[in-house]
A and B are shown apart, each in its own frame.
Chain A
Amino acid sequence: MTETSQIRATAPKVGLFVTCLVDAMRPSIGFAAAKLLEDAGCEVIVPPQTCCGQPAFNSGDRATTRDIALQVMDAFAGCRYVVAPSGSCGGMLARHYPELFQDDPGLSAKARAFAAKTFELVSFLTDVMKIERVDARFAKRVTYHDSCSGLRELGVQTQPRKLLATVEGLDLVEMRENDVCCGFGGTFAVKYGEISGEIVGKKAENIEASGADVLLAGDLGCLMNMAGKLSREGKSMEVRHVAEVLAGMTDTPAIGAPENREA
């Protein structure tokens, strides 16, 4: 047996739930997540997937949500863990799937077991894989936004800060109201665009006032919302998913930034 296959034999099999936004908009986050998981000693697989079901769930369409939830649970059935680079989708899988099937005796145990093996990426690295530090360098001043679902549904707050502190050269400065919603809210951002725009406007003020050059968060939806507002207001701010920095994979253009011409 080679050394690699020995590691493979004991490595926990992690199904990467990449999320529909990362899949379509920013695959580099998915690769950063996969690298972090492999560095932590996991075997990463990517079962066929679409979405966690939140658009249906939060629009009141429970039947469609249940169909999608069953599809996700079946696709990841062979995984020891399910990990998502998102607190929002992670919260959907880990908190709301059990709620969807709580009155269904045939499926509630399945949903609870699935929820128990599902984690948001960064907290999985620190809390389950017991990762203390990452091997990355990013010599910039960054600020971190606590996305709501990760923070309040999954308790993700200290974990990203702990790992960011081990990134060589990185200086973390906290913005005011870092735990206040950015105004994204999924379809809310389109259905109530004006209110959403007002909320993200206040967020952009806090981001700018922090004095940071880089904005990080753990959810692409929130990041696209904040990046879109910052660029609309002509503010130059590098916006990235926290996984990109932790994985040392920051050579791609930032969110909402033009293609790297010299690259």
Chain B
Amino acid sequence: MSVVATSSRFKDNAHRALGDGQLQKALGNVRHNFIDRRAQAAARLPEFDALRDQARDLRDHVLAHLDIYLDIYTQKVTAAGGHVHFARTSEEACRIITDLAKARGAKTVTKGKSMVSEEIGLNAALERNGIEAVETDLGEYIIQIRGEAPSHIIAPAVHLNQEDIEHDFRRLHTWLPKDRDLTAPESLLAEARATLRAKFLASDIGITGANFLVAETGTSVIVTNEGNGDLTQILPKVHVVVASIEKIAPTLEDVSGFMRVLARSATGQDMSVYTTFSTGPRRPGDVDGPEEYHVVLVDNGRSNMLGTDFQEMLRCIRCGACMNHCPVYHAVGGHAYGWVYPGPMGAVLTPSLIGVAEAGHLPNASTFCGRCESACPVRIPLPKLMRHWREREFERHLSPATVRSGLALWAFFAKRPKLYGLAARIGVKILALAGRSKGRFAWLPLAGGWTKYRDMPAPQGQTFQAMWKSRGGAVR
């Protein structure tokens, strides 16, 4: 793990986020834009749900035969003149890439958007080796100049407003006229483009992620909306793809199936603006392309998930629909989750990658409303997987002592209906007497987590079972 996690401080992070007016304003956009656009895109495609089933089944097939497909993929990359490097950990992945860069005397690398490079902490590793890393995706560029982590897997700067970005551009782009107009989002885009153009041309190595790695051809595929990925991988002499091992698609035909659900789920577009296929380095007669093509395949804990309750998480194609539809994400934003992957997919993946002892809050901070699962293009049962993490915590005695003892006390009664009935009758009688005049409580002992934020309605005074019995089963 190269990025310092603050997931264990989730509650503090969330508290800060809830008090941050600018953040709350920005999160309002997530709530509506992404959800409405996805719904419209899905409605335009009658076979959308059938495509989701196909995508799920195909991802399952890949995961069941991952070793075979990785082998074929490696052979095809090599046959096309590229090089494949396997990295077991973040550290190994960073070392492979920094060694490649140092051996070529690289001073500047440009980067397309890549979540796995965030996961392995690649930028920090490059900088420790005296190599400047420049993010070329607009959102990634913005958070890089702010020294932040992405707050969303496809919209890394979604936590910011236009005025936040304008402020940072004025602070950093000091060579530009002070009186320039940056009030329109387009002007920010134009300024970032002009600034990045020089970086593209000076870049020694281009690093991109991959949405898919095609086994049949040894091809890496990226989808972007800005075209920055193309400039990143075409202009420098060396193109390095960094991707996690589960990104395999068996064939190009299969990629087209995934593409039909990916952008629709992510942004509600039928297709992303750019879809770029790269196979090996430039061949004689090619008009452009890098001289060298490398792929760094990162495991970093994923092979340990195969064959476990959490294998289904590896179906994820990183569209972000789960967080777009999550009420908890809408409330606190991505940074509160404290590591690279936020929202429901992060609540399952993060404990898998950095351990449930550190990330234990994440699978607990869910109402299990199930909206994530209902939006997931590959139908990952996210609430079920979060619950599996809660089971691991319970088994390992990681859940708080107060929760465990409260649960044990409740279970003692819940397993003894007669005793439970007696306790319930006494309890509700007392509560009802205390709460009768107002009909609710503004404060209750042991329920501060509830009554600090809302009233507790008072009970009617008797239990249903006692009343039913005394009335002999009569309805009125």
CA distance A113 to B194 in the complex (A): 66
From B79-87, B105-113, B201-209, B435-443, the one touching the partner chain is: B435-443
- The contact size tier of chain A is 35 or more
CB of B475 within 8 A of CB of A38, answer yes
Q: B414: CB under 8 A from chain A?
A: yes
In chain A, what residue has the closest Cβ to B18? A198
Q: Are B367's CB and A185's CB within 8 A? A: yes
User: What residues on B are CB-neighbors of A186 within 8 Å?
Assistant: 367-368
A181 part of interface (Cβ distance < 8 Å): yes
A187 to B390 Cα, complex, angstroms = 13
Q: Which listed residue (A60, A148, A189) contacts B370, Cβ 8 A?
A: A148
A-B contacts, CB under 8 A, total:
229
A228 pairs with B450, CB closer than 8 A: yes
B413 within 8 A of A: yes
**Which among A23, A99, A187 is the interface contact of B465 at CB below 8 angstroms?**
A23
Interface string of B373-406 (1 = CB under 8 A from A): 1100000000010010111111100010001000
Asked if B411 contacts A56 (CB within 8 A), the reply is yes
**Nearest-Cβ distance from residue A186 to partner chain B, whole angstroms:** 8
Asked whether B420 lies within 8 Å of A50 as measured between CB atoms, the reply is yes
Name the B residues within 8 Å of A179 (CB-CB): 371
CB pair A61–B370 under 8 Å, yes or no, is: no
Closest CB of chain A to B50's CB: distance in Å?
19
Q: Decide: A23 and B424 in contact? CB cutoff 8 A.
A: yes
CA distance A227 to B439 in the complex (A): 11
Report whether A60 and B393 are in contact in the complex, using a CB–CB cutoff of 8 Å.
yes
Q: Which residues of A contact B457 (CB under 8 A)?
A: 25, 224, 227-228, 231, 255-256
Asked if B374 and A152 sit within 8 Å, CB to CB, the answer is yes
Q: Are B453 and A196 in contact (CB under 8 A)?
A: yes
Whole-angstrom distance between the alpha carbons of A187 and B403 in the complex?
10
What is the CA–CA distance of A202 and B367 in the complex, to the nearest angstrom?
A: 15
A170: Cβ under 8 A from any B Cβ: no
B146 within 8 A of A: no
Interface check A31, CB cutoff 8 A: yes
How far is A48 from B394 in the complex, measured between Cα atoms in Å? 29
Surface stretch bound by A, among B93-101, B257-265, B327-335 = B327-335
A183-B368 Cα distance, complex, nearest whole Å: 10
CA distance A20 to B460 in the complex (A): 14
Task: Say yes or no: A256 contacts B410, CB within 8 Å.
Answer: no
Chain B proximity of A101: nearest CB distance (Å): 15
Smallest CB gap from A75: residue in B: B417
Q: Which of B11, B364, B414, B467 has the most CB of A within 10 A?
A: B414
Q: How far is the CA of A23 from the CA of B447 in the complex (A)?
A: 19
Is A136's CB within 8 Å of the partner chain B? no
A113 vs B476: C-alpha distance when bound (angstroms): 32
Scoring A residues 165 to 207 as 1 if CB is less than 8 Å from chain B, else 0, what string do you get? 0000000000000011101111111111111111110100000
The verdict on A224 contacting B407 (CB below 8 Å), with A31-B476, A35-B476 known, is no
Could you tell me which residues of chain A, from 1 to 56, have a CB within 8 Å of some CB in chain B?
18, 20, 22-28, 30-31, 34-35, 38, 44-46, 48-51, 53, 55-56
A186 to B374, CA, bound (A): 20
Minimum distance in angstroms from A178 CB to a CB of chain B? 13
Give bound CA distance, A256 to B460, whole Å: 10
B427 interface residue (CB < 8 Å to A):
yes
CB of A68 within 8 A of CB of B414, answer yes
Q: Find out whether the CB atom of A31 lies under 8 angstroms from the CB atom of B475.
A: yes
Query: Is B458 in contact with chain A by the CB < 8 A criterion?
Result: yes
Q: Are A152 and B369 in contact (CB under 8 A)?
A: yes
Among B367, B387, B392, B453, the residue within 8 A (CB) of A193 is B453
A contacts, CB < 8 Å to B: 18, 20, 22-28, 30-31, 34-35, 38, 44-46, 48-51, 53, 55-62, 64, 67-68, 71, 75, 99, 148-149, 152-153, 179-181, 183-200, 202, 224-225, 227-229, 231-232, 252-253, 255-259
What would be 24 A-B contacts, judged by CB atoms less than 8 Å apart? Answer: A18-B464, A30-B468, A50-B417, A55-B414, A59-B394, A60-B399, A61-B407, A71-B415, A99-B384, A149-B368, A152-B373, A181-B367, A190-B449, A191-B449, A193-B448, A194-B14, A195-B14, A199-B331, A202-B330, A228-B440, A228-B457, A231-B454, A256-B440, A259-B437
Interface residue ranges, B against A (CB under 8 Å):
11, 14-15, 18, 327-328, 330-332, 364-371, 373-374, 384, 387, 389-395, 399, 403, 407, 410-411, 413-418, 420-421, 424, 427-428, 436-440, 442, 447-450, 452-460, 462-465, 467-468, 473, 475-476
Q: Which 6 pairs show the lowest CB-CB distances between chains A and B?
A: A185-B367, A197-B453, A60-B394, A60-B390, A193-B449, A228-B454
